[in-house]
Amino acid sequence: MRPNTLYIVVPCYNEEAVLPETAKRLRSKLESLIADGAVSSGSRILFVNDGSRDATWPIIMALHRDCPLFSGVDLTRNRGHQNALLAGLMTAKERADLVISMDADLQDDIGAVDEMVAKYHDGCDIVYGVRSSRKKDTFFKRVTAEGFYRFMNALGANVVFNHADYRLMSKAALEGLAEFKEVNLFLRGIVPMIGYTTATVEYERGERFAGESKYPLKKMIAFALEGITSLSTKPIRLITALGFLIFLVSVAMLITFIAQWAMGMTVAGWASVICSVWAIGGLILLSLGVIGEYIGKIYLETKHRPRFLIREILDDEK
Ligand code: UDP
Ligand code: MG
């Protein structure tokens, strides 16, 4: 049997409303896994406090005090879901043989954990939790989210359809992940690049148990742009192709106009001229914007800023 200390990593941002319930359910799940011998008794639930402004961290500290199964990581400030998750994964990597990440709001069905652990024991290093349906999501969320996965794949970014950040990774896979030093973090795009044997486990995505979504539309769009621009350079190529096409069209237009002039036909209409000036101006601006987006990324990457800073770790030694 493979070594089997499991860490369940849960990023939390202002989750005081759900945290006690999440902790209760995760604890009973972990206890039953330990009782079944599927994971070792050194297994833990690791909450990452992503600079919450509510009682999230005091709740985590209290959980840790009352039960050795809970540990915690406190980030120095809010860094966003992906960085918080990475902080948790990298902390767990040092202590665990297998790590499962999930959201704090109980939308990821805890029942799928058993199957993930079983797949790990079958020899898989990465097990993706995949949503079997999005019945419980609002129509808007479903359409935007599924459109996002299709759009990503069309742009050449390889993401697992309907998989968010509910997944199991072995220590080896996490060590692979640690080699990806990018600052612009989009984990679900990076994980498929690691390799190893992978599997998927289907689960039904539930409703948020309590509290509000920390991903309003603005953050969702920013996240989608982050994903596309950090995984794919296809937009740049598309713009190059578009620019070339427009150039060809303008050459064709020029030839036509010269022919018309030679035949003594007057060229009529300012409107068309103005229109094309505006169209091309717009395209140039758009192209500059996309290029700027990538240059901005390069700028950020060259700084090698830390992706997270840990204030405190609640651990057994303490
Ligand atoms: N989260 C975080 N930092 C943030 C925003 C969100 O750690 O800045 C966590 C949040 O606590 C939750 C997970 O990321 O555990 C997913 O967030 P949420 O459930 O709000 O997203 P949704 O399910 O609505 O897409
Ligand atoms: Mg959620």
Asked whether the predicted pLDDT for residue 270 surpasses 80, the reply is no
Structure tokens at 39: 């994971």
Length of the chain: 318
Q: Could you tell me the pLDDT band of residue 274, with boundaries at 50, 70 and 90?
A: confident
Helices (H), 36-111: 56-66, 81-93
Lowest mean pLDDT among 39-53, 64-78, 136-150: 136-150
Across the range 58-73, mean pLDDT stands at 95
pLDDT tens sequence across 136-188: 777 887 888 888 888 888 877 778 888 889 999 999 999 999 988 888 788 88
* Measured distance CA(80)–CA(160) in Å, rounded: 21
Between the CA of 140 and the centroid of ligand 2 the distance, in Å, is: 15
* Measured distance CA(17)–CA(212) in Å, rounded: 9
Helices (H), 164-216: 171-178, 187-194
pLDDT value, residue 271? 65
* Measured distance CA(235)–CA(124) in Å, rounded: 34
* Measured distance CA(55)–CA(5) in Å, rounded: 29
Looking at all shown ligands, the one closest to residue 11's CA atom is: 1
Tracing tokens 């902080």 back to the chain, one arrives at 87
Q: Please choose, from the candidates 65, 112, 195, the residue with its C-alpha nearest in 3D space to the C-alpha of residue 100.
A: 112
pTM of the model: 0.81
Question: What's at 111, amino acid-wise?
Answer: G
* Measured distance CA(65)–CA(69) in Å, rounded: 10
Bridge partners, residue 241, by sequence: none
Neighbours of 239 (CB within 10 A): 18
Structure tokens at 188: 């679900």
* CA angle (58 as vertex; 54, 63 as ends), nearest 5: 130
Pocket of ligand 1 (CB under 6 A): 11-13, 15, 50, 78, 80-81, 84, 103-105, 107, 213-215
Q: Please choose, from the candidates 90, 75, 118, 80, the residue with its C-alpha nearest in 3D space to the C-alpha of residue 9.
A: 90
| Phi-psi region at 100: left, alpha or beta (left = phi > 0; alpha = psi -120 to 50) | beta
Q: Whose CA is nearest to atom 8 of ligand 1?
A: 80
Between the CA of 284 and the centroid of ligand 1 the distance, in Å, is: 36
Across the range 68-93, mean pLDDT stands at 95
* Measured distance CA(211)–CA(288) in Å, rounded: 40
Which class for 128: exposed (0-12), middle (13-18), buried (19 or more C-beta within 10 A)? buried
Between the CA of 67 and the centroid of ligand 2 the distance, in Å, is: 26
* Measured distance CA(88)–CA(12) in Å, rounded: 11
Looking at all shown ligands, the one closest to residue 13's CA atom is: 1
Neighbours of 255 (CB within 10 A): 10
Tracing tokens 């303008």 back to the chain, one arrives at 250
Asked whether the predicted pLDDT for residue 295 surpasses 80, the reply is yes
Is the Cβ–Cβ distance between 280 and 246 less than 8 Å? yes
